[in-house]
Amino acid sequence: MSARAVRPKLSFLGVAGRHNRVPSPYPWLMPVILVMGLFYLYPVVDVFRYAFTDLTLLGGEGHYTLSTFANVLTRPELLQIVWVTFVFTAGSVVGQQLIGLAMALVVVRAEKRHLFGTTILRTTALIAWVVPGIAGGIIWKMLFNEAPFGGLNSLLRLMGMAPVQWLSDPDVVMWSVVLSNVWRGTAFSMVVMYAALKAIDPSLYEAAEVDGASARQKLFFVTLPQLRPAILVNMILITIQTLNTFDAIISLTGGGPGRATEVLSLYTFNVVFRNYDLAAGSVLSILMLVISLGLALVYASFLPKDEKA
Amino acid sequence: MKLSTRDRLGDFLSYVFMAVMFVFFSWPLIWLLSMALRTRKEVFLGVARLIPKYPTLDNFSAVLTSSQFPVYLFNALKLSCLSAVGCLIIAAPAAYAFSRFDFKGKGAWMLGILAFQMISPLVIMVPLYRYMSRLGLIDSHFGTTMVYIALGVPMVTWLLKGYMDGIPKSLDEAALIDGCNRLSVFIRIILPLSTPGVASAFIITVIAGWSQFLVPFLLITKDSLVPIGVGIFQYAGTQNASTIQVLAAACLISVVPAIIAFLALQRLILSAMTAGAVKG
């Protein structure tokens, strides 16, 4: 600890005399501090302030009040919104993590065996990932087109199956939205899992081999425990990303039918920018922040202790 | 011998899995391309005309010669390039300080910057929309660019810091001995050596800016100023089943630049994206 702290200072003493002061970092950080302060910190503080007012986007100064909080949190639709958000997030995160991990495992194996097609698969998945959210929504809307010529229904018909009401059946639509989100997001998890797999010390596998471990045992007792930190970090990242997803849903379903796919971010958007209710939107924004932070902390508590340091 | 049959079975299963995944990831894009190449009649034939009998480029020319789409594309390019340049100018000095200086609370500063990324852009847009309309920055590319920059700065700072960490400190020290000050070390030595890192940060920010929807959707109302993300959303809202092929062409045109930029720098971008997650 102390040796570590001293070393940089010594290296400075070794340098020419007039440069032996440690330079202040703040002039260098100033642009970032200014931008982040103006565009993140100040607005977030203001969100907390607005939440205690009755401000609207229609003008006026508003008054300080606690009733917005009470009003928003007791809205009858809020429970439904939170449930929809939960299903969407859980479905997307689990799907992306599982498929991403499976793809990474298969790709690593296939590369070892010099199988054909790993690069094509990886690149295709990554192309889906680069597609902007709005375009992704539009593309999937074409696929989910419920007319007989729709991109999925005409496939189903070709295979002799009944068409599915992908976007108009309130019981199906959520899974359609999750499917489209898994399509767009999985590549990220795949890449993270792939990099983590590559970073596992090969001697662990050699040792398992010597002990006569089967492939399944190697997966459960070597690979998965070694991947644990990477899986948790990845889950934090994709959970937050999914909670904030907004453009892919607004262009695919717009939140409908009814409120079947209206997630919290879309609801917040509608409250502020369609109903002009700035104060209520601020309360919802705080709710979003609290949920993100809470989930991140829950995941982080599963990280091995030495990883936190 | 037994091992090899087993390996062969494993190979077979790997191929099956990879094929299924390939179909899943490529089908939407293949469908988009197929639709974009069809005539209006063939749209109604569904999957039977996956490869159109009478392929046409009319849909693309209809999009590209329309009055709005070239403007949307230009606006998106302008906003994303300007914001990428802005991001680099703002983040590079901070990245240098994080990479080279030892100061109190450095770890906390870096984590703090990263933590901002957890905040949904929607949350900050709620008050920002109000400030911007008071400042008269609605319908201004300047205001929109500034918000893009703020959204991109955390990641660019981390990316550049990671890249600069790979440049030996002895170069700085040698230059300091030769009488350079910190600023000229940064400008004359570190920045030129960071070119690959700067390039990948630039491309990533451009792709992110190209994909932006929420910020310009709220801050830009004039049709002649909106970027492609907003333009195509509004266009999609006015379309019906009989013009789906034109929408597909428009969608493809809006997606392809991002894909090309990504593919060109795939390796750099991937190593940058995963570094943070794997290191924890």
Kindly report the nearest CA distance between residue A76 and chain B, in angstroms: 22
What Å distances lie between residue B137 and A6, A199, B128, B147, CA to CA?
50, 48, 10, 11
Given B15, B38, B56, the domain boundary residue is: B56
Interacting residues of B104 by C-beta distance below 8 A, sequence separation 6+: none
Q: What percent of chain A has pLDDT over 90?
A: 27
Map chain B to HEC letters. CHHHHHHHHHHHHHHHHHHHHHHHHHHHHHHHHHHHCCCHHHHCCHHHHCCCCCCCCHHHHHHHCCCCHHHHHHHHHHHHHHHHHHHHHHHHHHHHHHHHCCCCCHHHHHHHHHHHHHCCHHHHHHHHHHHHHHHCCCCCHHHHHHHHHHHHHHHHHHHHHHHHHCCCHHHHHHHHHCCCCHHHHHHHHHHHHCHHHHHHHHHHHHHHHHCCCHHHHHHCCCHHHCCHHHHHHHHHHCCCHHHHHHHHHHHHHHHHHHHHHHHHCHHHHHHHHHHHHHHC
- Chain A and chain B share a number of CB contacts under 8 A equal to 281
User: Is the per-residue pLDDT at A2 higher than 80?
Assistant: no
Report pLDDT for B147. 92
pLDDT at A307: 47
Span A84-99, mean pLDDT? Answer: 95
Neighbours of A1 (CB within 10 A): 5
A230-278 pLDDT per residue, tens: 898 889 889 988 998 888 899 888 887 888 889 999 999 998 888 888 8
Write down the pLDDT at residue B2.
Answer: 54
Q: Give the pLDDT mean for A221-225.
A: 89
Which residues form the domain of B223?
Answer: 60-279
Secondary structure class of A64 (helix, strand, coil):
strand
Q: What is the per-residue pLDDT for A10?
A: 42
Q: Residue A82 is inside which H or E element, if any?
A: helix A76-112
Claim to verify: residue B19 and residue B130 sit in the same structural domain: no
Q: Determine the average pLDDT of the residues in A146-173.
A: 84
Q: Are residues B221 and B161 in the same domain?
A: yes
Whole-number pLDDT of residue A21: 59
Nearest CA in chain B to A113: B11
Alpha carbon distances (Å) from B130 to A178, A224, A273, B50, B136:
33, 48, 11, 48, 10
CB contact A290 to B (< 8 Å): no
- Whether the per-residue pLDDT at B166 is higher than 50: the answer is yes
Residue B278, pLDDT above cutoff 80: no
Note whether B13 and B90 are same-domain residues. Answer: no
Nearest CB among B11, B31, B120 relative to A143 is that of B31
Greatest mean pLDDT range, B18-27, B60-69, B97-106: B18-27
Under the banding of pLDDT at 50, 70 and 90, the label for residue A177 is: very high
pLDDT tens column, A24-76: 888 899 999 999 999 888 999 988 888 888 888 777 777 787 778 888 888 88
Q: Rounded to an integer, what distance in angstroms lies between the CA atom of residue B217 and that of residue A246?
A: 12
Q: Are B33 and B10 part of one and the same domain?
A: yes
Q: How confident is the model at residue A152 (pLDDT cuts 50, 70, 90)?
A: confident
Average pLDDT over residues B205-221: 91
Over the stretch A187-206, which tens digit does the pLDDT of each residue have?
999 998 998 898 888 888 88
Residues of B (68-127) whose Cβ lies below 8 Å from A:
89-91, 93-94, 96-98, 101-103, 106, 109, 113, 116, 118-124, 126-127
Question: In this predicted structure, what is the pLDDT of residue A12?
Answer: 44
Query: Residue B275: which pLDDT band, with cuts at 50, 70 and 90?
Result: low
State how many domains chain B has.
2
A80-260 domain in CATH 1.10.3720.10? yes
Task: Please state, rounded to an integer, the average pLDDT across all residues of chain A.
Answer: 84
Residues B110 and B230 placed together within one structural domain of the fold: yes
Instruction: Say what the pLDDT of residue A17 is.
Output: 43
DSSP label of A23: P
Confidence check: pLDDT of A20 > 60: no
Model ipTM? Answer: 0.86
Are B243 and B131 in a shared domain? yes
- Domain identity same for B100 and B132: yes
Q: Which residues, other chains included, contact A92 with Cβ-Cβ below 8 Å and sequence gap of 6+?
A: A178, A181, A182, A185, A238, A242, A245
Q: Which residue has the higher pLDDT, B149 or B237?
A: B149
User: For helices B141-165 and A26-36, what crossing angle results, to 10°?
Assistant: 140
Contact indicator for B88, B272 with CB cutoff of 8 Å:
no
What's B192's domain CATH number?
1.10.3720.10
Q: Which residue of A has its CA nearest to B49?
A: A149
Residue A64's DSSP bridge partners are A53
> B206 and B96 in one domain?
yes
Cross-chain residue pair B176–A132, CB shorter than 8 Å: no
Q: Is the pLDDT of residue A9 over 60?
A: no
Residue B181 has pLDDT above 80, yes or no: yes
User: Would you state the structure tokens that stand for residue B177, as one six-digit string?
Assistant: 């001995």
For residue A95, the model assigns a pLDDT of: 96
The verdict on B7 and B119 lying in the same domain is: no
> What are the residue boundaries of the structural domains of chain A, listed by start?
80-260
- Going by C-alpha positions, the residue among B93, B81, B86 that lies closest to residue B190 is B93
Q: Does B115 share its domain with B140? A: yes
**Confidence band for B3, pLDDT divided at 50, 70 and 90:** low
Report CA B198 to chain centroid distance, whole Å.
Answer: 15
Q: B35 — contact with chain A (CB < 8 Å)?
A: yes
For residue A106, what pLDDT is reported?
A: 93
Q: Is A234 on the interface with B (CB under 8 A)?
A: yes
Q: Based on the fold, state whether residues B175 and B84 are members of the same structural domain.
A: yes
